Amino acid sequence: MEFTNESEKQQYYMEQCRQLIQAKEQKLGRKLTACVVTFGCQMNFKDSEKLLGILKQIGYEETDDEHADLVLYNTCTVRENANLKIYGRLGYLHKIKDKNPEMIIGLCGCMMQEPHVVEKLNKSYRFIDLIFGTHNVFILAELLYERLLTGHKVESIWDGTTEIVEDLPSIRKYDFKCGVNIMFGCNNFCTYCIVPYVRGRERSRDPEEIIKEIEALAADGVVEVMLLGQNVNSYGKTLEHPISFAELLRRVEQVEGVERIRFMTSHPKDLSDELIEVMAQSKKICKQMHLPLQSGSSRLLDRMNRHYTKEDYLLIVEKLRKAIPDIGLTTDIIVGFPGETEEDFEETLDVVSKVRYDSAFTFIYSKRSGTPAAEMENQVPESVIKERFDRLLKLINSISKEKTAVLEGTTQPVLVEEKNGKLEGYVSGRLSNNSVVHFPGCEQLIGKIVSVNLKEAKGFYYMGEMVE
Ligand code: 5AD
Ligand code: SF4
């Protein structure tokens, strides 16, 4: 077969799979189901929406139940814990497959880009039918077709790709908000991080394609978009006609129907004054930034290859707060990076006290084989890490509580996201700064932006009341 482009080729395979699935359905007298389970970050969630889009087009019915005809784990490998979780759950899947030998089990995502993982899977987890990686998510139909046709295990891992395939199906978990990839991969090689090895080099999507996608989403009722990239601040630098991230934001702002714009993740080293200016002037960009610190020690930041110092970071925060006084700031911090001393750790505590984050994700350093940090001397003993981690968490939590209390009693615009799972007759939504509020309301409000009085700050969230 000759195809003019990749998306046409994949459409062909989707159709081929659809016919095979239809025949199976007729034989069984029921619909076939597919379950995609996502581990890890927003990028993986977005990839899973694409995988589900393809599976739905093929004819599978989506389910959350892992007793499905096809189960796909979209894996994460950023920390060792993530990997251990997958191996544990595979044991559980194996038992399900014992009862349903026709079941297809697939694994994809970041873990699959590590050769030692695939080796282990091939040796000890032989019941897996489909293995592919992060670079070829878009060929799911082609791989599945081969599996359905031959009954053999299919494995396809690419080392990298320069290709960005547009115009493939994707489903949305929420009707009113959606993640939009603006770039793929990462070029930063922070010394602790496996991401550049498993997600490849940085590639930006064409701004025209991004805007086209957002216009279509807005026409379909989406009011909030989250622009996704490992380092959005370096967006566009490698395009044939380079544009800055700030310029992209200006263009997204023009899209009618879009009411809220978020983005992640920002790397402090590339955060420009132009971006701060655009955010300050914008009516749609949410007053929120996730700005990973990783460590407050300039000595460790250098060993982490982060390209900023403690002082640089604090200066950025000062500029942000000056231009956008009510901006919500969140961060990522690693405790126990090799060689971290008590003094280094105290520098981290110092930054946390000075910045006063709204919330922070804290991680215990995890050794990832193949990264430079894994080879570094002076790995910190577990007991020391644990003690530091607890101290850090205590400080972050007490600050978060105080920060949340500041808005108590005020009325804020809130995008209603879902029915509250615990409180009957309540819904939950988010403020511009990403804080969550629960308040009495009906399902019809989901996807709407309403005014809510924040009656009571409850530590990390609010209880509120809608204002007419
Ligand atoms: N160990 C611990 N945390 C890590 N992160 C990335 N790599 C590691 C690692 N090896 C954290 C960083 C990053 C977040 C997504 O995960 O803080 O910002
Ligand atoms: Fe990893 Fe650093 Fe790239 Fe983030 S910027 S994905 S921490 S290498």
Both tokens of 24, joined, read 């199976």
Give the CA distances from residue 28 to residues 25, 32, 66, 96, 282, in Å, rounded to whole numbers and listed in that order. Answer: 5, 9, 19, 18, 55
Identify the pLDDT of residue 138.
Answer: 92
Block means of pLDDT (10 residues each) for the chain, 468 residues, are 87 96 95 96 92 96 96 95 92 93 95 95 95 93 96 91 77 91 94 94 95 96 96 94 97 97 96 97 96 98 98 98 96 98 98 97 95 93 97 97 95 96 95 96 95 94 94
Identify the pLDDT of residue 293.
Answer: 98
Identify the pLDDT of residue 172.
Answer: 87
Three-class secondary structure of residue 99 per DSSP: helix
CA 195 to centroid of ligand 1, rounded, Å? 9
CA 251 to centroid of ligand 1, rounded, Å? 31
User: Residue 205 carries which DSSP code?
Assistant: P
Task: Say if ligand 2 is within 6 A of residue 267 CB.
Answer: yes
CA 404 to centroid of ligand 1, rounded, Å? 26
Phi-psi region of 467 (alpha: psi -120 to 50; beta: other; left: phi over 0): beta
Phi-psi region of 290 (alpha: psi -120 to 50; beta: other; left: phi over 0): beta
Task: Say if ligand 1 is within 6 A of residue 207 CB.
Answer: no
Task: Say if ligand 2 is within 6 A of residue 373 CB.
Answer: no
Task: Say if ligand 1 is within 6 A of residue 294 CB.
Answer: yes
Among the bound ligands, name the one nearest to the CA of residue 336. Answer: 1
Task: Say if ligand 1 is within 6 A of residue 199 CB.
Answer: no
Nearest CA to ligand 1 atom 13: 332
Which of 347, 337, 288 is CA-nearest to residue 313? 347
Task: Say if ligand 1 is within 6 A of residue 192 CB.
Answer: yes
Among the bound ligands, name the one nearest to the CA of residue 229. Answer: 2
Nearest CA to ligand 1 atom 12: 332
Both tokens of 416, joined, read 């209603």
Which of 17, 51, 57, 19 is CA-nearest to residue 35? 51
**Other Cβ atoms closer than 10 A to 296:** 24
Enumerate the β-bridge partners of residue 280: none
Q: Positive or negative, the Cα torsion across 38, 42, 45, 51?
A: negative
Enumerate the β-bridge partners of residue 452: 412, 466
Edge-to-edge strand order for the sheet containing 224-228?
177-181, 224-228, 260-264
Which of 231, 193, 197 is CA-nearest to residue 372? 193
Enumerate the β-bridge partners of residue 155: 131
Single-letter amino acid code for the residue at 72: L
Among the bound ligands, name the one nearest to the CA of residue 330. Answer: 1
Three-class secondary structure of residue 67 per DSSP: coil
Residues 286, 412: Cα–Cα separation, whole Å: 13
Give the CA distances from residue 431 to residues 221, 411, 442, in Å, rounded to whole numbers and listed in that order. Answer: 19, 10, 18
Give the CA distances from residue 70 to residues 17, 103, 162, in Å, rounded to whole numbers and listed in that order. Answer: 13, 6, 29
CB 333 within 8 A of CB 294: yes
Task: Show the CA angle centred on residue 251, arms to residues 324 and 176, nearest 5°.
Answer: 80
- Closest ligand 1 atom to 364 CA: 2
pTM reported for the whole predicted model: 0.92
CA 374 to centroid of ligand 1, rounded, Å? 13
Task: Say if ligand 1 is within 6 A of residue 44 CB.
Answer: no
Single-letter amino acid code for the residue at 9: K
Q: Are strands 461-466 and 436-440 parallel, antiparallel or unpaired?
A: parallel
Which mutation among 110, 230, 266 tests ligand 2's pocket best, with the greatest number of atoms within 8 A of CB?
230
CB 153 within 8 A of CB 104: no
Give the CA distances from residue 79 to residues 41, 329, 343, in Å, rounded to whole numbers and listed in that order. Answer: 12, 24, 25
User: First and final CA of the chain: distance in angstroms?
Assistant: 60
Task: Say if ligand 2 is within 6 A of residue 196 CB.
Answer: yes
Task: Say if ligand 1 is within 6 A of residue 368 CB.
Answer: yes
CB 363 within 8 A of CB 332: yes
Task: Say if ligand 2 is within 6 A of residue 191 CB.
Answer: no
Arithmetic mean of pLDDT over the chain: 95
Among the bound ligands, name the one nearest to the CA of residue 267. Answer: 2
